[in-house]
Every structure is written in C-alpha cells, then in structure tokens.
A and B are shown apart, each in its own frame.
Chain A
Amino acid sequence: MTSLQALCAYLPHWRLDATTVAAAWGAPAGRGRRAIADRDEDPLTLAFAATSGLPSAGPAIDAVYFASTSAPYLEKQTASVLAAALGVERTARTLDVAASRRGWVTAIGLAIDGLAAGSLTTAVVATGELRSAEPRSADELGFADAGGAALLSVDGTGAEVLAVRSVHADDLGSWRRTDDPHVRHGEQRHAAATFELEPAQLALRDALAAAGVAPADVAAVAYSASQPAHAGKLLAGLGIDAPVFVGSTEKAGYAGAAHPALCLAAALGAASPGDVVALVATGDGADALVVRADASCVVVGPDVAGTGSDHEVAYASFLRSRGALAQETEPPRSSPVAHHRDTEQHLRLSGIHCSACGQVQYPATSRCAYCGAEDVAPVALARHGRVQTFTTDHIVAGINPGNGEGVVTMAVVDLDGGGRVFVQCTSDYSDVAIDDEVELVLRHLHDGSGFKNYYWKARPAARRGSN
C-alpha cells in the first residue's frame, strides 16, 4: 500500500497587512494580509522548515523531490541541496519540478508511481515558494510565502493513496517569463473559468473514478487555486457535498506551488479516520490526489491564528528584503571548494564525538580539542539547546553588510547532547535571554562568492503543531 505518512505545511512568521501597505502609500486601506518570508528565508529554507516537521525517516529515504516556481537557482538543483541538508543516502533520487503552481502535486504523483512500481520505498516531496510582486499591486497582498513537505512510503502506515491524476492546459492565466521580475496576469475571470475550474473538474472526476469513490462519498476537498471563490461551482459540478479547504488565503495569501500543502494540511487536519479527502491543485491544468485519512498520518499544519503569526513587518524592511529598495551589500568571500568539503559540518551540523574523553564538539577536527585523542567519530548534533550568552549588535551590519542587515542578535548555544554553536538569531527573536530554549533553523546567510550560503540560526524552540 502506498500512503501519505506525514504532511507538514510551514508558514513563515512575519505578516504584511493591508493597513501597513496603505499607510506607507498614503492610500485608503484595502483588505488582505499575507505571510512573508524573513529576509534570510528562501524557497529552499521554507521547504527545509517543512521537512523538519516530518517524522525522521533518515536513511530509508530514497527520493527527494522539490517543486517551486521560484527556486533559488535557474541552473542548479534545489532538491540536491535539500538532500544534503537532510543527510539522505547519495543514491537517493533527486528532482526539481519547476515553473508550475501544481508542481508539488505532480511530483507527489511521480513519487507515487515510483513507490507503486517498487523502485522507491520512501520519498520526501517538498515545496517552497517566495512569491514576489510589484509594490502596491494586488499580488503584493494576495501572495503568500510558504513551504510544504510530504513523506510518502510503502510501509503501510499513514493515509492510503487511492488515486492521483493529471490534466494539462496551456495556461495564460498567470505566467512569468525568465526575465520578468513578477507574475503577469491574463484576463482574470476568463482564467478562473478556463484555466482553473475546468481542468480542476476534469482532474478530480478522473481521480475519483480511478479511486472508485463516488462523489457523494468524498468527505473533504482541498482546493488550491489563485481564485478559490469558484470552489463551490467545482463541487456542485461534480455532485460533491463536502467542506472545501482553500488554504489560508484570507490570513496568509496564495502561496503558488506551496499552496496545495496548506490546503491539504487543513483538510487532513479536520478529517476523521476513514474519510476520503481529495486535493486538487491548479496551474497549467490540474493535478488531483485522493487519499483515505488515517489516524497514523502525521499532519503538522500552520495555525495561522495562533502564536508566531503576529509579527507585523515594517513595509520598508519588506521592500528591501525583496530587492525593491536598493542596498549596497558586500557579501563575504566564500568558496565552492570549501563549501563542498564542509557540507556535513555546515548543512548537516555534524560535529565529532571523542571516544577517549566523551566530549561532543564542533566544528569537526581530526583530533579531540579537549584531550588530543585521535579516536574521534562524526556525530550529528542536536538542533535544540540553551542560550549560554548573547548580544544584540547594532553595528556589525554597518561594519560589513555581508554580516546581515540592521540589528543582528548573536547567541552562543549549548546543544542538547553536547557541542556549542555561535549563531545569529532570527529577526523575530529579539527578546533573547540566558538559558532560553532554542531550536536551530536553516537560513540563507548571504551570497558570498555568488552562491547561496546556508547556515543555522536560533529561534525560540517550536511548540510542535503551531509553527
């Protein structure tokens, strides 16, 4: 049996509200509120944050797929960076699905095919989106940044996959050419009917038929679309009478390829064991996935009304983080060669354990720093610990913009089980105190030597289930 073992949707912690934008432009307040990534988050880190909510599948993972319309690189895979950070076997398959807002569900379909065919046993399918829009456009407030990750397996636990189907369309509802900074739109009412509703109906009808599920037996529909208002027509057209989950568009916005993860997490989170739940994701057609909910399926979804979502961003800070306000930066020198050499140490946060004196230490060296013994072995450090000391530095960014922007809070963290790191704190963590419990999250530090340099930052330890 192929099943969805776990699903995690991640919304970043900052919010931009319509009133903030209106005040900045001296315009009457509109409506809307979006989730925005911090300036050190990108599609890779958003996806990684979502994988952090999955149960640890470790070495069993033999496929890592990544879907996004806003991947950090045009040439260079993001899935392989994710695979390195997850520490999966070198023989795991990696794949980026680019360009399509339904790409994450397409990638899930590919993983399901591999699992069903016996060529895969456990797959992680992740997505991350950083949705940029023209300042003061409707998209600026309508888009969301988010991440998502699904763990699929053949081990028999989780929500059973009943069917997955795909429909394509030459979609001119929304697009972005390679040199366009932002998404362009066609005629929106035409697009809603032609490029979202119609292929969604085709895909869902097809998937339900393949699953052998009567429309009346569908318990919930997760519907990912840029214009979800016509969800009622979709259900009525197919004879489905069930609640529909369109994601947190009111409170967070539309997250493109990551949006289906938000919709499905909400639908599965509300489902009872045995319920048939359908996901339809639009964009260049539609993909539909039908599963049977089960108590063993782990669902970690963002609680958008809960804690962690009340950080209001300053508009100027938001614009600068999106490159809309010019800033002269001078990233520090890095090295692709050293980056490769230190991948385990930096992306996996791997240290060493000394078998002579027992000290767990970081960074890794060939002999123990404490007793000099050479009998040391690599060890994965915990990503949770306590603050030993800290400072909020007001000038470090001025000394060298490559060190960060504005105020930078640095913390020394004693990790559970040993090892000590010295890291920046995320920008939403400003009230640091000695002995605070923190977790380490992967963030984009800078573009030294022209590539993405990722490393860990500290933020208050997560209360699971309420990102």
Chain B
Amino acid sequence: MGTIKDKVAILGVGCTRFGERHDASVADLLNEAVDEAVADAGIDRAAIEAAWVGTYFPATGTAGVALSDAVRLYDRPITRVENYCASGMDAFRNACFGVASGMYDVALVAGVEKLKDHGDRGIPDQGDHPVLGRGRSAPGSFALSATRYLHDFGVGREVLADVAVKNHANGARHAKAHLRRAITREQALEAPMIASPLGLFDCAPTSDGAAAVVIARPEVAHGLRDDSVLVKGVALDVWTGRPYHWNDFDYRHWPTTRRATASAFEQAGIQAVDVDLVENHDCFTITELINLEDMGLAPEGKAWQLLREGVFEVDGRLPVNASGGLKSFGHPIGATGVRMVYEVTRQLQGRSEGAQVPGAPEVGVCQNIGGAGGNLTAVTVLGR
C-alpha cells in the first residue's frame, strides 16, 4: 500500500455553529461553512474543480446535487459519500485522492446534517432488520461496550463522567460548540439513564451543522498561504455491520480503529509518541476511552486513569478533544469528520476558536467512527 503524504494541502477551512439551528436549512448550513472555507482559502469559488459531500441521512440530501443546488456550484463532478457517522471523513479521504492523483488542483469537501427539524432523539431507524438485533439504538449499541469495559476493568461510571466533565469544559470555551456549559461529575452521575450504564451526559447531542474544507496540491497552496497544513495519512477500515454476532468480539476494543490507526500512522511515518493532539469520536463517553486505547495512546483499560491524571486536558501531555468533541461540540453526523479536520487544522495553525493547544503542535490526528463500535473507522493524520 502506498501513501499520499504531503501531496495534499489544506487551503481553507470553515464550520458553522453546531447546535439546534432552527434558523437554518441544509442549504443555509452548507453555504455558511463553504463560504467560510472559500474565504479562508483566499480563492474564487470558480477555482473549485471537484467536490465531495458527506451526509448520512437521505433526508439531509442525496447525490451530488445535495451540494450543487445548495451552494450553486454546477457543472463539476460532485460525489455524495455515505459511510455512517464517518461519512464526512470518508468524503475528505476521497477528495484527497482526487487531488493527490493530479486530477484536480483544487477540491472542496463538505459535510452536513440536519437532525433538529424533527423531534427525533438519537438516530432514527434506517430500515434496520425486522428481527436481527431489533431493539437496539445508538446509545444502546455503545452501552454494550460500556457494560463490558466497566465490568472487565473493575471501574465505575465515574470514569465515564470524567470524560464528560473534560469535554464539556472544553466545549464551553469554543464559540461554535453546541453545548457551551461546564458540568460537574455529580451532575453527570445523577442524570437520567439513557441506556445503562450510559446516562444523559454520557451521550453526545444530536445537532445541526456543516463543515467544509478546501484542499489543493501543495504547489497551488504555496502561493496562497504560508501556514498550510499538509495531509500525512488517510485511512479507512471497514469490518462488519453486525459485530454483535461475532463469536470473539470482546466489546472492549474495536479492531477497525486499531487497523485504521496503524495504516494512517504508517502512511504518515509517525508513531503514537509523535502525536501532539487528537480529535476523536466521543459520541459517547465510553467511546473516547476505548478510542484512545485502540489508537495506542493509552494502555488497554488505562485510558480513564491517564484522563484522571490530566494527560488529555488542553494543557496536558496529549490534548484530546480540545474542541469539546462530539460530546460538547455536537454531532451533525455527516459534518463531524470534516469538522475534525477543520479543528485540527486551526489548532496546528495556532488559531483555534476554542481552547488553543499550547506549544505549537505539529502533528494532529482525527479519528471518526462509523456505526456502532466495530463497524468502521476513518483516521486522518495532519501535520505542518
């Protein structure tokens, strides 16, 4: 397998405020994010040669026209990408190949989701099987891992609450985050149960939002900005839609994250110790802990302990989800992976709109899970 290391530069990034955007349609959200990314890139929209858009729900938009009509960008190749909650990052990955291959000089990536025009909680039924696994929900699927994690490592729900406390504190500092308030451990522990052992504060909110990234060949980017962030590695690993039928699945780790991380790190030529900051997919508190262990950033069963020691705080040795993460920044499904690229890019450029990671970080990693743990994972490594 090859690598596209340093063959793609990030020219501009944009992101809407996430949250209950009752004021904005899908098109409004896309325009808000794309306009910001294009302005940040300092290019004319006409320079965009091709685009990829990530959405999960057909109701948000289908086909390339989901983007073309929204932002009035016609007569170009536009592809809609759907890969569960990693739709946005997979759209980014495919766009990178389009540029790295030399096919396009400048490409646009957008991710968007509109969840709050309806009162649905969680992720609504998407034509699931009539009997196999019937009765599961998004929180319920991750709760299966939480039950096993707490049992096997002999820890209580406090370790989950610690993740929520950290990410709420970070999100409170970000102008574009959905949930902008700090919480206490007691609030998290006393909140209503959603799917045991996950309570309300263990769950990311469902949000509206969009994010966009303009990418270009480094030669093109060079003349436009001197703080370009480069793509070092893009990986995707797809396992199974029904991990719960696998005899040896232990629920404590997700092999897709292990494999995608190994691949992205190899492409980038880095190791875990080289990572300066991480945005990972904390759709639920348990997910952040398992992600960190799967990414090799904490020993198995010990992520909660490093968290308690402050390692993952914004000013810690390895800041994790300085943006607030999905937990606090929000999770408009198709937008999330693109939002991670937006956040890490700005962190590496020293211009986060939230809590800036100190010490001029050089290598940032984004990890985006699709589906319940075990389905698929996308990992992107960005660097200066």
The interface of chain A, by Cβ under 8 A from chain B, is 332-335, 338-339, 346, 359-363, 369-370, 388-396, 398-400, 402-404, 408, 410, 412, 414, 418-424, 434, 445-446, 448-449, 453-455
Per-position contact with A for B165-199: 1 when CB-CB < 8 Å, else 0? 00000000000000000000000000011111110
Report the Cα distance A100→B130, complex, angstroms.
34
Which A residues touch B135, using CB under 8 A?
393, 396, 403-404, 408, 410, 423-424
Which A residues touch B72, using CB under 8 A?
none
In the complex, B128 has a CB within 8 A of chain A: yes
| Beta-carbon contact of B245 and A363 below 8 Å | yes
| Beta-carbon contact of A394 and B193 below 8 Å | yes
| Beta-carbon contact of B247 and A359 below 8 Å | yes
In the complex, B358 has a CB within 8 A of chain A: no
| Beta-carbon contact of B251 and A335 below 8 Å | no
| Beta-carbon contact of A410 and B136 below 8 Å | yes
Report the Cα distance A280→B192, complex, angstroms.
55
In the complex, B71 has a CB within 8 A of chain A: no
Which A residues touch B131, using CB under 8 A?
346, 445, 453-455
Closest CB in chain B relative to A364 CB, distance in Å: 11
In the complex, B127 has a CB within 8 A of chain A: yes
The interface of chain B, by Cβ under 8 A from chain A, is 120-125, 127-128, 130-137, 139-140, 143-148, 151, 192-198, 240, 242, 244-247, 249, 251
Which A residues touch B192, using CB under 8 A?
394
Known contacts: A363-B132, A389-B144, A403-B137. The answer to whether A394 contacts B125 by CB under 8 A is: no
Q: List 20 A-B contacts (CB under 8 A).
A: A333-B127, A334-B130, A346-B132, A369-B246, A389-B151, A391-B198, A392-B195, A392-B196, A393-B195, A395-B139, A399-B122, A399-B123, A399-B124, A403-B134, A408-B140, A410-B135, A410-B136, A420-B244, A445-B130, A454-B131
| Beta-carbon contact of A399 and B120 below 8 Å | yes
| Beta-carbon contact of A390 and B247 below 8 Å | no
| Beta-carbon contact of B246 and A410 below 8 Å | no
Report the Cα distance A239→B133, complex, angstroms.
59
| Beta-carbon contact of A395 and B194 below 8 Å | yes
Which B residues touch A359, using CB under 8 A?
247
| Beta-carbon contact of A335 and B130 below 8 Å | yes
Q: Which residue of A lies closest to B134 (CB)?
A: A445
| Beta-carbon contact of A332 and B134 below 8 Å | yes
Known contacts: A359-B247, A448-B130. The answer to whether A389 contacts B122 by CB under 8 A is: no
Which A residues touch B144, using CB under 8 A?
389-391, 410, 412
Closest CB in chain B relative to A294 CB, distance in Å: 41
Nearest first, the 9 A-B pairs at minimum CB distance are A391-B143, A422-B244, A455-B131, A334-B130, A393-B140, A396-B137, A393-B195, A400-B125, A392-B196
| Beta-carbon contact of B125 and A395 below 8 Å | no
Partner among B143, B147, B246 whose Cβ is within 8 Å of the Cβ of A434 = B147
Q: Which residue of A lies closest to B196 (CB)?
A: A392
Report the Cα distance A394→B121, complex, angstroms.
11
| Beta-carbon contact of A398 and B134 below 8 Å | no
| Beta-carbon contact of B122 and A420 below 8 Å | no
Report the Cα distance A403→B127, complex, angstroms.
12
Report the Cα distance A455→B131, complex, angstroms.
6
Which B residues touch A332, using CB under 8 A?
125, 127-128, 130, 134
Report the Cα distance A333→B240, complex, angstroms.
22
Which A residues touch B132, using CB under 8 A?
346, 363, 422, 455
Which A residues touch B196, using CB under 8 A?
391-393
| Beta-carbon contact of A389 and B136 below 8 Å | no
Report the Cα distance A164→B124, complex, angstroms.
56
Which B residues touch A414, using CB under 8 A?
247
Closest CB in chain B relative to A413 CB, distance in Å: 10
Which B residues touch A408, using CB under 8 A?
135, 140
| Beta-carbon contact of B244 and A390 below 8 Å | no
Q: Which residue of B lies closest to A397 (CB)?
A: B135
Pick the most buried of A333, A391, A394: most chain B CB atoms within 10 A of its CB. A391
Report the Cα distance A198→B271, complex, angstroms.
90
Which B residues touch A396, using CB under 8 A?
122, 135-137, 140, 195
Q: Which residue of A lies closest to B252 (CB)?
A: A389
Report the Cα distance A400→B134, complex, angstroms.
11
Which B residues touch A410, using CB under 8 A?
135-136, 140, 144
Q: Which residue of B lies closest to A414 (CB)?
A: B247
| Beta-carbon contact of B122 and A422 below 8 Å | no
Which B residues touch A392, using CB under 8 A?
193, 195-196
Report the Cα distance A395→B143, complex, angstroms.
12
Pick the most buried of A402, A410, A414, A454: most chain B CB atoms within 10 A of its CB. A410
Which B residues touch A423, using CB under 8 A?
135
Closest CB in chain A relative to B328 CB, distance in Å: 20
Report the Cα distance A453→B131, complex, angstroms.
7
Q: Which residue of A lies closest to B240 (CB)?
A: A369
Report the Cα distance A388→B137, complex, angstroms.
18
Known contacts: A391-B195, A392-B193, A422-B136. The answer to whether A403 contacts B125 by CB under 8 A is: yes
| Beta-carbon contact of A420 and B245 below 8 Å | yes
| Beta-carbon contact of A453 and B130 below 8 Å | yes
Known contacts: A363-B245, A399-B122. The answer to whether A389 contacts B148 by CB under 8 A is: yes
Report the Cα distance A398→B122, complex, angstroms.
9
Partner among A335, A418, A448 whose Cβ is within 8 Å of the Cβ of B247 = A418
- 5 extra A-B contacts, CB within 8 A, seeds A363-B132, A391-B198, A393-B137: A388-B148, A399-B137, A410-B135, A414-B247, A418-B247
| Beta-carbon contact of A398 and B147 below 8 Å | no
Which A residues touch B122, using CB under 8 A?
395-396, 399
Report the Cα distance A128→B121, complex, angstroms.
38
Report the Cα distance A28→B124, complex, angstroms.
45
Closest CB in chain A relative to B132 CB, distance in Å: 6
Report the Cα distance A308→B137, complex, angstroms.
29
Which A residues touch B128, using CB under 8 A?
332
Known contacts: A393-B140, A395-B121, A395-B139. The answer to whether A422 contacts B195 by CB under 8 A is: no
Report the Cα distance A448→B128, complex, angstroms.
12
| Beta-carbon contact of A434 and B148 below 8 Å | yes
Q: Which residue of A lies closest to B122 (CB)?
A: A399
| Beta-carbon contact of A362 and B245 below 8 Å | yes
Closest CB in chain B relative to A372 CB, distance in Å: 14
| Beta-carbon contact of A422 and B133 below 8 Å | yes
Report the Cα distance A423→B133, complex, angstroms.
6
| Beta-carbon contact of B145 and A389 below 8 Å | yes
Report the Cα distance A423→B194, complex, angstroms.
18
Which B residues touch A334, using CB under 8 A?
130
Report the Cα distance A455→B127, complex, angstroms.
18
| Beta-carbon contact of A422 and B145 below 8 Å | no
| Beta-carbon contact of A421 and B124 below 8 Å | no
